Amino acid sequence: MPRDGMQLLSDYAGGKIAITCSCGLSRLYDVNRMMQRTGDLGMPELLDRLALAEGCAKSRQVQPPKHRPECGLRLDFARMTRAS
Ligand SMILES: [Zn+2]
């Protein structure tokens, strides 16, 4: 499976990923626990799923939530950690 530089959840195994959104949503996740639930995902798909799972009001208006025109959900790299 070509990665084209896309980040995967497993790139952060043992660490944390953080998301933030213009709608005010902000979450920090344990990556290992997340992978038990979702398997290893590319970050774009992960964001789509999280927007829906966390109830981002703006994302919910779009079905399927493949594109989030109104939702600015993104990774918050400043708060993310990789396992050392
Ligand atoms: Zn949002």
Distance 65 CA to ligand 1 centre (A): 11
Cα–Cα distance between 72 and 79 in angstroms, integer? Answer: 17
User: Residue with structure tokens 């708060």?
Assistant: 79
Map out the domains of the chain as residue ranges: 9-79
Cα–ligand 1 centroid distance for 39 (angstroms):
23
- Mapped to the 3 state alphabet, what secondary structure does 9-37 carry? HHHHCCCEEEEECCCCCEEEEEHHHHHHH
**Residues 25-58 pLDDT 10s:** 899 999 999 999 999 999 988 988 888 888 776 5
User: What was the pLDDT predicted at 55?
Assistant: 79
CA of 57 to the centre of ligand 1 (A): 6
pTM over cut 0.85: no
77, 12 contact by CB (below 8 A): no
pLDDT the model gives residue 62: 52
Q: What pairing do the DSSP bridges indicate for beta strands 74-75 and 16-20?
A: antiparallel
| pLDDT above 90 (res 65) | no
